Amino acid sequence: MATYSWTLPVAGPDPDAEGPDADAVWEGLVHKAENPSPYVPAVTGCRVLERFDDGFLREITVRDTELVQERVTFEKPERVVFRPVNDPCIEQIVNELGDDGSGRPTLTLRITLTPAGVDKAENTRYFLHETQRYFSDALAFIVEGLRRRHAR
């Protein structure tokens, strides 16, 4: 398996700008898990299939064509873990709330490839590049969505 991660400040690049605190970021991450479209433009639909004490099973539509089921687990107060049920290449996706050292929240998006995903990354031209670009772009959209949610 291989893991890749990206981290961005949630408040924005201006150190004087007011942004969401850690509690607001957590609330936004919980909201995003059930309503991902405003945060991740590639996700065009979401349906919760089953609920559990620590999360739920959802089915998302990616780019209006691909259906992916994910087991979503909330590890309050800092991690939301998405484990695709039917994706042979992605083991898990983690959204993790952090701190920039001065008390301002950061968000880390981490993906772990399955052994089949690592094999595909090694043997399929552009797969790793496109996967990394998709998820790094997704993080930027998620952070922007969290900022918009806070500004309301």
Pick the range with the lowest mean pLDDT from 8-12, 15-19, 95-99: 15-19
pLDDT of 92 reads: 97
Q: Alpha carbon of 141 to those of 5, 10, 90, 135, 136: distances in Å?
A: 15, 11, 20, 10, 9
pLDDT digits (tens, 9 = 90+) for 61-74: 999 899 999 999 99
Residue type, 148: R
Q: Is the pLDDT of residue 4 over 70?
A: yes
**Predicted confidence band of residue 12 (pLDDT cuts 50, 70, 90):** low
**Predicted confidence band of residue 14 (pLDDT cuts 50, 70, 90):** low
* Beta-carbon contacts of residue 32 (< 8 Å; ≥ 6 apart): 38, 39, 40, 80, 95, 142, 145, 146
Pick the range with the lowest mean pLDDT from 1-5, 9-13, 76-80, 106-110: 9-13
With 0.85 as the threshold, say if the pTM is over it: yes
Instruction: In whole angstroms, give the CA distance from residue 28 to residue 74.
Output: 12
Angle at 118 between CA 134 and CA 56, to 5 degrees: 60
* Beta-carbon contacts of residue 139 (< 8 Å; ≥ 6 apart): 6, 8, 107, 109
Residue with tokens 């979401």: 46
